[in-house]
């Protein structure tokens, strides 16, 4: 971005400068000025403490510890250089260190800037938050981070964008100095997230959080289901005896020959057991094994006790021999025992039907 001064007949570019050239320091100048007026970096903030270091076993200091109107703590880190250094890593540590602070503790900390007058500190914070008493609300537990620098390196902005996608709330504000005659002008620009995209990014984060919540619940369901199925199978077969509990929609076991696995699947519309055939990097051999077994289809299905689905999976690296059954990953937990019994029984029968034909293959 550039600044221009309008003259009678043209716009003149205002030359940029640097904080170093103008002998403006982080703590003495930038931090002091922001301490007095936070509007260049946010209009919903209140400074709680400058150079915050009220923790044990650490000499590190937060440039400005703030509180937002939505009851979040806000860590503000300042740099006057042109790449931001490693300020995002610093700020993450600080955010973790203050994340357990309560509103009561915040008031105690702010009181130290008010000559120890806790009543005044409490009244000012409650007024800022729009509350009548300390009992009305507590902090959200979230910690926002605001990084302020003359500029930011690609490495830093890439890290911040990645962290924000993982539910952190980090803002990058560039303070760029200009000199116009005897005056120094500051252009304060929020570059992450872009102001016009901030609401959209919040919605994306909320959608991602909901997606992870659903996926987390599903993963936990899979672990409980397979843990129960493996435990119930031990009295009937050793096929799953050494298997760890899966957090995916299937669990597998081998059938005694490389290139062949037996899978038990908890699918969206049904359940299934299958023989998965794949010789890595050798589709021709995979198909040869599949068709050799297909030639013994009548014998295999008779031994299994039911019709199987034979799928060469054209265009893919593997082939399948599958048996589908009622039930799905949406089946209520009250039906799990019956469902697991069917799956264990089908797995035992499929292994018995295929072990000899697979062992006799010569490829």
Number of domains in the chain: 2
> In angstroms, rounded to a whole number, what is the distance separating the alpha carbons of residues 75 and 93?
10
The separation between CA 363 and the C-alpha centre of its own chain, rounded to angstroms, equals 46
Task: Provide Rg for the chain, Cα atoms.
Answer: 32
Q: Which of 178, 193, 208 is at the close of a domain? A: 193
Q: Bridge-partner residues for 173, per DSSP?
A: 148, 190
Determine, yes or no, domain membership for 129: no
Are the C-beta atoms of residues 88 and 170 closer than 8 Å to each other?
yes
CATH of the domain at 316: 3.30.1460
Can you read off the two tokens belonging to residue 287?
Answer: 């198909």
* Residue 25: C-alpha distances to residues 136, 150, 153, 205 (Å): 41, 12, 20, 36
133 within domain boundaries: no
Is 122 a member of any domain? no
Indicate if 162 and 261 belong to the same structural domain: no
Q: Is residue 121 part of a domain?
A: no
The verdict on residue 206 lying in a domain is no
Same domain, 151 and 48: yes
Is position 203 within any domain? no
Asked which of 193, 210, 232 is the last residue of a domain, the reply is: 193
214 in any annotated domain: no
Q: Cβ distance 90 to 77 under 8 Å?
A: yes
Q: Are residues 95 and 162 in the same domain?
A: yes
> With 0-12 CB in 10 A as exposed, 13-18 as middle and 19+ as buried, what is 324?
middle
Considering the domain boundaries, does residue 123 fall inside one? Answer: no
The whole domain housing 276 covers 220-359
Cβ atoms of residues 148 and 79 within 8 Å:
yes
User: Distance between CA 41 and CA 61 in Å, rounded?
Assistant: 19
Together in a domain, 159 and 301: no
- Local structure of residue 191 (DSSP, 8 states): E
Residues 317 and 233 in one domain: yes
Query: Which pLDDT tens digits describe the chain residue by residue (363 residues)?
Result: 677 888 888 888 888 888 888 788 877 888 888 888 888 888 888 899 988 887 766 677 888 999 988 888 999 998 887 777 788 998 999 999 899 888 889 999 999 887 778 888 888 888 888 877 777 678 888 899 999 988 888 889 889 888 888 888 899 988 888 888 888 888 888 888 876 455 556 666 666 666 667 667 888 899 999 999 999 999 999 999 888 888 888 899 989 889 999 999 999 999 999 999 999 889 999 999 999 999 999 999 999 999 999 999 888 889 999 999 999 999 999 999 999 999 999 999 999 999 999 999 987
Same-domain check for residues 168 and 86: yes
- CATH code, domain with 155: 3.40.1350.10
10 and 77 share one domain: yes
Q: Is residue 235 located within the same domain as residue 308?
A: yes
Q: Of the candidates 62, 43, 42, 32, which has an alpha carbon nearest to the alpha carbon of residue 172?
A: 42
């Amino acid at each position: 971005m550039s600044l221009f001064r309008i003259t009678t007949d043209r716009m003149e570019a205002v030359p940029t400068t640097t904080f170093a050239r103008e002998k403006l320091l982080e703590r003495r100048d930038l931090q002091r000025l922001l301490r007095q007026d936070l509007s260049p970096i946010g209009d919903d903030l209140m400074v709680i403490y400058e150079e915050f270091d009220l923790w044990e076993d650490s000499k590190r200091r937060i440039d400005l510890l703030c509180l937002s109107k939505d009851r979040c703590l806000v860590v503000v880190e300042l740099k006057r250089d042109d790449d931001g250094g490693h300020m995002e890593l610093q700020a993450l540590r600080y955010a973790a260190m203050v994340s357990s602070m309560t509103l009561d503790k915040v008031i105690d900390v702010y009181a130290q800037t008010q000559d120890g007058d806790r009543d005044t500190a409490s009244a000012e914070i409650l007024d800022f938050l729009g509350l009548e008493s300390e009992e009305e609300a507590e902090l959200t537990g979230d910690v926002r981070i605001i990084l302020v620098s003359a500029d930011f390196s690609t490495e830093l902005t890439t890290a911040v964008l990645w962290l924000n996608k993982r539910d952190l709330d980090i803002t990058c504000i560039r303070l760029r100095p200009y000199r116009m005659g005897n005056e120094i002008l500051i252009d304060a620009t929020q570059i992450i997230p872009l102001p016009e995209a901030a609401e959209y990014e919040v919605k994306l984060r909320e959608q991602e959080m909901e997606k992870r919540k659903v996926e987390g619940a599903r993963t936990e369901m899979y672990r409980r289901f397979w843990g129960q199925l493996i435990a119930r199978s031990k009295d009937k077969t050793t096929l799953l005896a050494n298997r760890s509990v899966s957090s995916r929609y299937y669990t597998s076991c081998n059938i005694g020959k490389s290139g062949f696995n037996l899978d038990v699947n908890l699918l969206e519309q049904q359940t299934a057991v299958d023989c998965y055939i794949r010789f890595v990097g050798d589709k021709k051999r995979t198909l040869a094994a599949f068709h050799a077994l297909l030639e013994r289809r009548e014998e295999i299905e008779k031994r299994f006790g039911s019709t199987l689905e034979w799928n060469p999976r054209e265009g893919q690296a593997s082939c399948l021999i599958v048996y589908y059954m009622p039930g799905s990953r949406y089946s209520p937990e009250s039906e799990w025992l019956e469902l697991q019994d069917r799956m264990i029984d089908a797995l035992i029968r499929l292994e018995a039907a295929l072990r000899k034909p697979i062992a006799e293959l010569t490829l």
